Structure 1
């Protein structure tokens, strides 16, 4: 199975990238590609820019990565209760590619984490509302609040309750392909 994994963040020290990389580690027998949104940095979407220059090749490349995958692992950063500007911009440009749904009807394991108690729940809620219109087939979603207290590099999720919930959601994702 071909798995595409990325964090909806352009932070060099993204906790969402740490979470999505951790999730990807549970697919050792699959072909997993972890993307960095910094490799898809484009001018901020503007209609006039699209008319003048067309759709950037990086947006087409990102869409091609989606199209070549069987499963998407995505952990969204929450900035002011919604997507990060970096993710939103890639999302906006991909949406302009003719005759495609943003996420190509691919199954998605949606995640979010944050340093505070909310754990990215707002961005998950925003994405879940948008998902049906964007060709995003969210199989399961998971939120990890208080990242610094509940996650250790090399160990992963350390909070037993959240670890059990994560594994339950992961099992649902894997069962989707059985």
Structure 2
């Protein structure tokens, strides 16, 4: 069983990259194969139906869809931009649905694996509003299974120590629970 981890940000020093990296370390420390990727390696133009009609989906969308297909479980760390997900994350999800083999709807890669979501923000709500939107996009929009456990990490600018671990023991426990429940659900889902 394999888990994929990524953040909905390409920023250097992103709190959500730190959160995704920490979640991946938790998986690895517990004997679960976990791989961290950066959306920076999968640049895609802003979705445009005319562009798609002229050129088809971008190659990076096909590559990211193929990457998703290699993992039974996916952990997404979502920043919050104006009470929602980042344009980068939404655009990536949308473009992947446009990569279709003959007879496919484009949603199969989302429907055939399980997702966990969490988010970090310097604000009081800890990216909770982006997680509400992301859950809706994944569950309602693309038909994915998303586990109920999640971590909304407030005051992210002061939540991590110099090594990238969470300072607060309760938050550490909650993140471990999210990763553990993702692994359990992914194993059951794949089985």
In structure 2, stretches of 5+ residues that fail to align are: none
The aligned counterpart of 1:106 is: 113
The aligned counterpart of 1:136 is: 144
Distance in 2 of aligned mates of 1:172 and 1:90? 25
TM-score, normalization by structure 1: 0.91
Task: Indicate yes or no: 2:127 matched with 1:127.
Answer: no
Task: Give the root-mean-square deviation of aligned CA atoms.
Answer: 1.8
Distance in 2 of aligned mates of 1:100 and 1:155? 36
Residue deviations 1:48-98, cap 9 Å, x none? Answer: 000011111100111111111011111011111111121122122112123
Residue deviations 1:2-23, cap 9 Å, x none? Answer: 2111001121221101001100
Runs (4+) of structure 1 moved beyond 4 Å?
none
Residue deviations 1:147-167, cap 9 Å, x none? Answer: 122211425111133223223
The aligned counterpart of 1:116 is: 123
Pairwise mapping of residues 15-164 of structure 1 onto structure 2 (< 5 A)? 15-28=15-28, 29-98=31-100, 99-101=105-107, 103-133=110-140, 134-139=142-147, 140-154=149-163, 156-164=165-173
In structure 1, stretches of 5+ residues that fail to align are: none
Q: How many residues align?
A: 178
